[in-house]
A and B are shown apart, each in its own frame.
Chain A
Amino acid sequence: METADDGRGRGNRVRLDVRLINPFISGTKEVFEVMAGLPVKRKSLSLKQDYKMFGEVSGIMGLAGDAVGSVVISFPRQLAESVVSKFLGIEEGEDVTEEDVRDGIGEILNMISGKAKTLLANTEYHFRLSIPTVIIGQDYEISHPKDTPCIVVVFESMNLKFVLQVSLAPQKKQE
């Protein structure tokens, strides 16, 4: 178990099951490093209490199977463009289109979730992947199930922050 801020702004700590979040953290680091040569630092871990998104570019994937929930990755626009150009090997000065950003962020989320899925096989958090959706905009909200904790991990790459939020709980077995 690891502790995290409870997200209510009072400095309270709550305990988190690291078996759930660690595969997503290592998956994020591996995807950035292997596919784009980008080092990523994990900065903080907390519980999310609202639905507001961190950045202008967010990829969302619903997860279903033995566990149900969602995973979201959210970037400031500038970092999303820089990360996608690194993945694509686009030279400096060349344009990254909105379609490149949309598709690239979706694929990054797909790979992170895929790594986590493999690492969570044979646990109660095992899930199936779905096709990711990417939203580009400002001041939007993405909901997660009220009765499932939503863990927010802040990362830093190229001196800018991005977040990964995971809201996943084992399915209640029918009696």
Chain B
Amino acid sequence: MGLKVLIVDDSSTMRRIIAKTLKSLDVDEILQAADGVDAIMILNDKKVDLVLSDWNMPRMNGLRMVKKLRENPDTASIPIIMVTTEAERASVVEAIKAGANNYLAKPFTPDALIKKIKETLHL
């Protein structure tokens, strides 16, 4: 069985770049959301193996989304990797404290993203 991955980013360019990178993994389904509000709606309906989320997004940013997902028992244990331009140490600490499992700063190479995913999912 392949993975189900949700990509959350307000940039369609970034969602496409990430989706393309995921092709080198055993991925069955890629879901996409433009912000935290859409992501939570999708996760109310569907189970996924991994969430890759940006930080700065309109309506609900990635940090608030992570906190909300961790509060809900149905989504509390979904692995989440933040993929974001917010690369300062304080931001990384804040995201991990909020419940993110891993963190990747933009810009990134496809190899760096795959490595973070494998690390997070113990593949």
Contact = CB atoms under 8 A, between A and B. Distances in A.
Interface string B68-95: 0000000000000000111111100000
Contact of B88 (A103, A110, A118): A118
A141 to B, nearest CB: 26
A131 interface: yes
Interface size bucket, A side? 20 to 34
B17 interface: yes
A129 B62 CA distance: 14
Contacts of B86: 114, 117, 129
A77 interface: no
B17 A111 contact: no
A80 interface: no
Given A35-B17, A117-B88, A129-B86, A111 B106 contact: yes
A161 interface: no
Interface residues of B, number: 23
Contacts of B106: 35, 110-111, 114
Given A110-B56, A111-B106, A100 B88 contact: no
Interface stretch (B7-15, B24-32, B40-48, B114-122): B7-15
Contacts of A42: none
Interface string A102-129: 0110110011011101100100000001
A87 interface: yes
A84 interface: yes
Contacts, number: 63
B65 to A, nearest CB: 16
A37 B105 CA distance: 17
Nearest to B86: A114
A160 interface: no
A87 B87 contact: no
A35 B11 CA distance: 14
Contact of A131 (B17, B58, B84, B88): B58
B20 A89 contact: yes
Contacts of B10: 131
Contacts of B88: 117-118, 121
Nearest to A108: B13
B80 to A, nearest CB: 19
Nearest to A131: B58
9 contacts: A35-B108, A103-B12, A107-B14, A111-B106, A117-B86, A118-B87, A121-B90, A129-B85, A129-B86
Interface of A: 30-31, 34-35, 84, 87-89, 99-100, 103-104, 106-107, 110-111, 113-115, 117-118, 121, 129-131
